[in-house]
Structure formats: C-alpha cells, structure tokens
Amino acid sequence: MPNHKVTEVVLLACGSFNPITNMHLRMFELARDHLHDTGQYNVVKGIISPVGDAYKKKGLIEASHRLEMARLATANSDWITVDDWESLQPEWLETAKVVRDASMRIILRAPGIKREKVTSVRVKSKMINGPQLMLLCGADVLESFAVPNLWKQEDIAEIVGFYGLVCITRSGSDPYKFIQQSDDLWTHHKNIHVVHEWITNEISATHVRRALRRGHSVRYLVPENVIDYIREQRLYSAESERKNSDIVLAPLQRYTRASSSS
Ligand SMILES: Nc1ncnc2c1ncn2[C@@H]1O[C@H](COP(=O)(O)OP(=O)(O)OP(=O)(O)O)[C@@H](O)[C@H]1O
Ligand SMILES: O=C(O)c1ccc[n+]([C@@H]2O[C@H](COP(=O)([O-])O)[C@@H](O)[C@H]2O)c1
C-alpha cells in the first residue's frame, strides 16, 4: 500500500486559442497522464482560459468566438472546461493574476471555506486541503520567460515557486536545458514538470489560420464542430489576420497598450 499523499491538481492553460486546435486538447491529456504516472498527483480538472480582446496579438479574433470554439471543443470532455473570466476583462491581465484568481475561486469552492476568512490564496491554501492549481503551457511559453521586459520576475517566481508549471515539449525547444541554464527556474525546478511529447505534433493556431485563409482543409487538426462553427461564422479571413498587425511595439507594451494609450 502506498503511504504517500496524493495531491489533487487543477491544470490551467492560458493562451490565445485562435482557434483552439486538437493539440491544445492533447496538452491536457499528456499532462494528466504524466502527473498520474508520478503517483503523486490526481488531476481532477482542466481549465482553458482564452485571453481577452485587449491582448494585441496579430490576427486575434473576438474573444466571444474563441470562447465559443473552446466550449464546442470541450463539449465531450468530462474534465476539461472553459473559463471566461480572463476574456471578459477590459484590460489584458498578466498570467500570474489569472492564476491567482482561478486558484482563489477553486479555494472558495472547497468544502467548509468561509469567504470572509479568505484574504490571500497563499494564506488560505495552507489552511485547506483543496486541489493545487498548476499552469499548463507549451515550451514556447516557458522560453518566453527569458524575453527581456516581457514577464515580471516576481510573477515567474510566483507561478513556478508557489503554484507549479507543467510544460509540454515542442519541436525546436529544449525546456530541460532552458531550466538548467536559468538560476531562477532552477531554484524551483522541482515544481516544473516537463512532459516529453514523443509523437511530435506541430499543429499551431497560426498554421490553422493560414490553411483556412487559403481555403485548405483543417480536418483532423481542429475538432469537427469547431470547423462547422468557423464555416458558419465565416471566421479567419485575410482581413481578420490583419487585425493588430499595425502594432509594432516592444513585447510588454503590446499587452499594456490598450490601457495606457488612447
Ligand atoms: N503543438 C503544440 N505543442 C505544445 N504546446 C502547444 C502546441 N500548440 C500550442 N501549444 C501551447 O498551447 C498554449 C496556448 O497557445 P496559443 O493559443 O498561443 O497556441 P499556438 O498554437 O501556439 O498559437 P499561435 O500559432 O497563434 O501563436 C500555449 O501554452 C502553447 O505553448
Ligand atoms: O504574464 C505575463 O507577463 C505574460 C507575458 C506574455 C504572455 N503571457 C500570456 O501567455 C499566453 C500565450 O501568449 P501567446 O502570445 O503565445 O499567445 C497568453 O495567455 C498571454 O496572456 C503572459
């Protein structure tokens, strides 16, 4: 009989999901299997949190459509859900804030928790035995931690040090080396779970949008009901791809521009 404690985990994936692809869904399955195989974790839920409209990324279509596609894609899943909180915010939010908010809501739902006593996630999580939230991402997001002025160092420390990260390899990335070479990440390396995807799959939303613009098939790259929705709503054209393309700013300004300028 194993005598160690099994921690319940909720996986949270943040991103554009423009549109959601089969690989976004695979990420969750890969991460869950990996954590279960350690014998230390039981993944109880997966959450997809699409960014809001204030995220000035080229070709980003309205959050309402991206949310609906994510909902359609997860309709048959018994554990992956979609959270609209981030996408409904008028301003772009740092991922650490999204993680904090989601974690707080998980804590508040735990049995026996009195709302008025919850002052901070950190304090509360020490008092309850509820699930632990971990951020789920691809290796490109992990590697973006090193882009100057993009992520706040204290946010990285909070996400990796306090919550935990599950990172799926992507071809061309080497998360093990990246963690090894970063003193900040190495400090928390026990909280970073790298999942090696052996069936390399370079589906990306960018490739899907390009195929759609050219009238090519995206069947088996994107769930069927999402393809139907894209067709019905006439999403992803040359015009939608031009959205935000005039914004040539330093990375961090890209995210803060909507709130800081006219
Ligand atoms: N093929 C993939 N392998 C591993 N992780 C992936 C893959 N595709 C997307 N992800 C991860 O999914 C999350 C959401 O990413 P995002 O919506 O930006 O997708 P994307 O396909 O990389 O988009 P785009 O091509 O528009 O940049 C990120 O953590 C990203 O690293
Ligand atoms: O919190 C930050 O500082 C931060 C900096 C850059 C990107 N992010 C988040 O990372 C996610 C992936 O971004 P992208 O541009 O690869 O689609 C998206 O959810 C962003 O909000 C977050």
Mean pLDDT for 242-260 is: 60
Q: Which two tokens stand for residue 152?
A: 């706040």
pLDDT at residue 129 greater than cutoff 80? no
Q: Which three-class secondary structure state does DSSP give residue 231?
A: helix
Q: Which three-class secondary structure state does DSSP give residue 131?
A: coil
Give the pocket of ligand 2 (CB within 6 Å).
Answer: 14-16, 51, 55, 57, 94-96, 141, 144, 150-151, 155
Q: For residue range 19-60, list pLDDT tens digits in order.
A: 999 999 999 999 999 999 999 999 999 999 999 999 999 999
Whether residue 35 contacts residue 9, with contact meaning beta carbons closer than 8 Å, is answered with yes
Nearest partner of 195 among 24, 21, 17, 32, judged by Cα: 32
pLDDT at residue 180 greater than cutoff 50? yes
Sheet of 41-50: strands edge to edge?
80-82, 41-50, 7-15, 132-138, 165-168, 192-195
According to the model, what pLDDT value does residue 110 have?
Answer: 73
**CA neighbours within 13 Å on the CB side: how many for 104?**
14
Nearest partner of 132 among 53, 54, 42, judged by Cα: 42
Mean pLDDT for 186-214 is: 94
Q: For residue range 17-29, list pLDDT tens digits in order.
A: 999 999 999 999 9
Fill in the amino acid letter for 230: I
pLDDT at residue 63 greater than cutoff 90? yes
Sequence ranges of the domains in the chain: 7-261
Q: Does ipTM exceed 0.95?
A: yes
| Helix, strand, coil in percent for the chain, rounding step 5 | 45, 15, 40
> Against a cut of 0.90, is the pTM above it?
yes
Q: What CATH code would you report for 7-261?
A: 3.40.50.620
Split at pLDDT 50, 70, 90, the class of 116 is low
Give the pocket of ligand 1 (CB within 6 Å).
Answer: 13, 15-18, 23-24, 27, 137-138, 140-141, 168, 170, 201-206
Nearest CA to ligand 2 atom 1: 94
